[in-house]
Amino acid sequence: MNYDVILIRYGELALKGKNRDQFEDALVRSVKSVLRSFFKVKVRRNYGRMYVELHGEDAYAVMERLKRVFGISSFSPTIQVDPDIETIKEKALELIRQLKPEPRTFRVVTRRADKRYPIPSMEVNRIVGTHILRALPAIKVDVHEPETIVNLEIRAEGTYISCETIPGPGGLPVGVSGKVLLLLSGGIDSPVAGWMMLKRGVTLEAIHFHSYPFTSERALQKVRDLAQKLTKWGGTVRLHVVPFTEIQTAIREKCPEDYLITIMRRFMMRVSERVAENTKAKALATGESLGQVASQTLESMDTINKVISIPILRPLIGMDKVDITDLSRKIDTYELSILPYEDCCTVFTPKNPVTRPKPYLAAKFEEALDVEALVEDAVARTVIEEITTKPKETTTDLF
């Protein structure tokens, strides 16, 4: 079927009141960005709806891109017709005939947003439905669970007919909720956390702690590849790669073994807070899930949180591993995450880490370290990489 326009709907944005225009403008920018390679496409919006005019572009290729745009609740490929009822009848019949396999049941749903249109919605439903029934004897009406719904939207800017409604990812357009710095490891959890933060409209940057030679270049490349997966949902991700070897070595030499993970995480938070300040990020985000590992008990989180004042967002906090893993498969990060390249958190994991660390004990053990010097050195030697939607376009510069 040669479609004319893809009609985009957005649910949560409609509740934004006086800020609605700001959110809709952000969604327009997101849609234009993901469709920039479709040169003939035109994007426009009217109150409550957005339209992607195809002008001959492949509707299905365009829709594959729209499935990754946060802020879209659903969309439909449509044909645009004149509001004449005879034209509507014929085009609706033509559209339903194109469906494979041919549906056995249907209903017609009309939304008459343009109240100047002289025929009431229920009457349009009856006229169009009757026409389809007479032309297709094998099909029946089912108003409760039809196989196909013929959607008619009669609006001031045009009349649109569709038989498909494709769910979007929902959420808010990327960029409307400020900037967040994601602690990105090579595991399953943190990329999912990043995806969930993008869904709430943040601009995402990422920070990774690399302990060469204890962790390999392949481990770092895995993190780059995971960040690249996230760019498909939120655009370019700036990845801050922190040299962490000196900090981890000092902790291992001077601190009790059972507190290694706790103190290491406290240093990660200190460094991340400095980087966030430099990048104007308003919060940190992690892939922590309550009770999943020793460093993710409430006591551990409290002890780790004590060293910084910036908010820490934990979007996975109430999810279990099965839920997180299922979502990682849906967003296509799982296969990368399970590659057997260790990160800095797994290399130095003690046999019996403390599960209920005390903040005063962690602070006491850190007295053996020059905390400020170690943090400043790590921040100064942090390298920024621009991760784009195309892996080969990665560029690097010093912090």
Tens digits of per-residue pLDDT, 138-174?
Answer: 999 999 999 999 999 999 889 999 999 999 999 999 9
Question: Can you count the helices (H) and strands (E) in the chain?
Answer: 14, 16
Q: Is the pLDDT of residue 309 over 50?
A: yes
The answer to the question of whether 208 is labelled as a binding residue is yes
> Kind and range of the H or E element at 62?
helix 59-66
Residue ranges covered by each domain of the chain: 3-165, 177-385
**Which distant-in-sequence residues (6+ apart) come within 8 Å of 318 by Cβ?**
289, 290
Average pLDDT over residues 199-204: 96
Q: Is the pLDDT of residue 254 over 50?
A: yes
The pLDDT score that the predictor gives to residue 343 is: 64
Q: Is the pLDDT of residue 351 over 90?
A: no
The answer to the question of whether 183 is labelled as a binding residue is yes
The answer to the question of whether 184 is labelled as a binding residue is yes
The CATH number of 177-385 is: 3.40.50.620
The answer to the question of whether 221 is labelled as a binding residue is no
Average pLDDT over residues 172-186: 95
Average pLDDT over residues 362-370: 97
pLDDT confidence of 391, banded at 50, 70, 90? very low
Residue with tokens 């409430």: 298
The pLDDT score that the predictor gives to residue 392 is: 44
From residue 134, alpha-carbon distances to 124, 139, 140, 392 in Å are 16, 9, 10, 57
Q: Is the pLDDT of residue 363 over 90?
A: yes
The pLDDT score that the predictor gives to residue 75 is: 96
Please give the share of the chain, as a percent, with pLDDT higher than 70.
94
The answer to the question of whether 296 is labelled as a binding residue is yes
- Residue with the larger pLDDT of the pair 71 and 348: 71
Average pLDDT over residues 331-340: 93
* Cα 173 from Cα 249, distance rounded (Å): 42
Q: Is the pLDDT of residue 47 over 80?
A: no
Query: Over the chain, what is the mean pLDDT?
Result: 91
* Cα 252 from Cα 58, distance rounded (Å): 57
SS3 392: helix
Q: Which of 181, 182, 237, 184 is nearest to 208 (CA)?
A: 184
DSSP characters over 141-199: E-SSS-SEEEEEEEETTEEEEES--EE---SB-TTSS-EEEEE--SSSHHHHHHHHHHH
Q: Which of 182, 132, 1, 181 is nearest to 76 (CA)?
A: 1
pLDDT confidence of 398, banded at 50, 70, 90? very low
The answer to the question of whether 240 is labelled as a binding residue is no
Average pLDDT over residues 82-87: 94
* Cα 255 from Cα 251, distance rounded (Å): 5
Average pLDDT over residues 113-136: 95
CATH topology of domain 3-165: VC0802-like (3.30.2130)
* Cα 365 from Cα 360, distance rounded (Å): 9
